[in-house]
Amino acid sequence: MRGAVRSLPPGLADLFEEPFMRRFNLAVLVALTLGAGLTAMPAQAHDGTRSSGLANCTAGACHFDVPPGTYDVRVLLGGQADSSTSISGETRRSLLPETPVAAGEQVARSFTVNVRTPEGEPTGPDGTPGLDLALGGSAPALADIRVTPARHARQILLIGDSTVCDQPADPYSGWGQQLPQYLRKGVSVANYADSGESTVTYLQNPQLWATVQPLIRPGDLVLIQLAHNDKTTDEATYRTNLETLVAGVREKGGDPVLVTPIVRRWFNADGTLNNNTALLVNGLGVDHPAVIRSVAAAEDVPLIDLTAKTKALVESLGVEGSKAIYLYNEKKDNTHTSVHGATVYAGLVRDALVAEHLVSRGQMRVG
């Protein structure tokens, strides 16, 4: 059965997270902002003690010497002039959307981030130890930052392929890489999607399912989107593999969510998407989205029909307009998404999580 939403009482999340504005002494601000040219210094964080402050930052980035775990990050944004700041972290994860602040004002934002090794794809390089954050936006200005161990944070774990994963380099991006920016403090995304994986290989590789399953805690959401690489998987095996993943999540007390795959950008002459290539029907005639829907119904698992949602969007954009969603312009790639496309698709997942009452509206960031 579906897990109950865990959230703060109505209105309380907004009290802690909605922007608050206040005037402050500009001379003090100048001393605090990153534009003053701070020197990076490793933070000390042992046995749960606080690791925080601008001393851990340089002009465009911050590093916190913390062990793997889940951390709450609270930032104060603003500067002497109008500013607009976004924050990413670890392997190009979008953690905070671009946030404008008027000159001479501050705005507070908070988010929860997962720190792990490897920090990106589970079969990829380890990455840099600790928590790394990068400032972006058209005019970034960071006035203060605090990083503390998260208490009782809920996890959203992702199981998927290259269309979901934390892609290591531009221009690629998976929708799971963009999902964290839509979440408020108290919910983290642990993205264990991995490029090239099918239901068969994800279950077989000890770096994947055997690593992820022990991390699942009661009440955690586990979103499962595997289909793009099941090109030679027969229907019975595909169905069994999905059932195995669902049962394994429930065994740990987690809440499985089945996600149908994003479409590929392959059009028919009439402007609709191709029934096979675009809509994920493999060479054996296995209709992956249809099987996922069937398993979700049979196992009473929440379903996010991302195939239907992305099909409707891509067809509405048309042959030319949909090129920006994928990497057609950069790589002639009609499967993998651009940062823009991944952000749009992550927004579809966000909306579905709220509509299915899997994550409360108060835990979601809408702008």
Cα 212 to Cα 156: distance, rounded to the nearest angstrom: 12
CATH 3.40.50 applies to domain 12-149: no
Specify whether the CB–CB gap between 63 and 130 falls below 8 A: yes
Give the closest residue to 286 by CA, choosing from 224, 241, 352, 223.
Answer: 241
**Beta strand ranges found along the chain (DSSP E):** 22-23, 51-52, 61-64, 69-77, 83-89, 93-101, 105-115, 131-139, 142-149, 154-160, 187-191, 221-225, 255-259, 303-304, 326-327, 333-337
pLDDT in tens, the chain (367 residues): 344 333 433 333 433 343 333 333 322 232 233 333 222 233 333 334 444 589 999 989 999 999 999 999 999 999 999 999 999 999 999 999 999 999 999 999 999 999 999 999 999 999 999 999 999 999 999 999 999 999 989 999 999 999 999 999 999 999 999 999 999 999 999 999 999 999 999 999 999 999 999 999 999 999 999 999 999 999 999 999 999 999 999 999 999 999 999 999 999 999 999 999 999 999 999 999 999 999 999 999 999 999 999 999 999 999 999 999 999 999 999 999 999 999 999 999 999 999 999 999 999 987 5
Give the closest residue to 142 by CA, choosing from 61, 203, 218.
Answer: 61
What is the per-residue DSSP string for 208-244?
A: THHHHGGG--TT-EEEEE--TT-TT--HHHHHHHHHH
**Residue 364: both structure tokens together:** 């979601």
* pLDDT at residue 52, rounded to an integer: 56
Cα 207 to Cα 7: distance, rounded to the nearest angstrom: 32
Superfamily of domain covering 154-363: SGNH hydrolase (3.40.50.1110)
Domain residues of the chain, as ranges? 12-149, 154-363
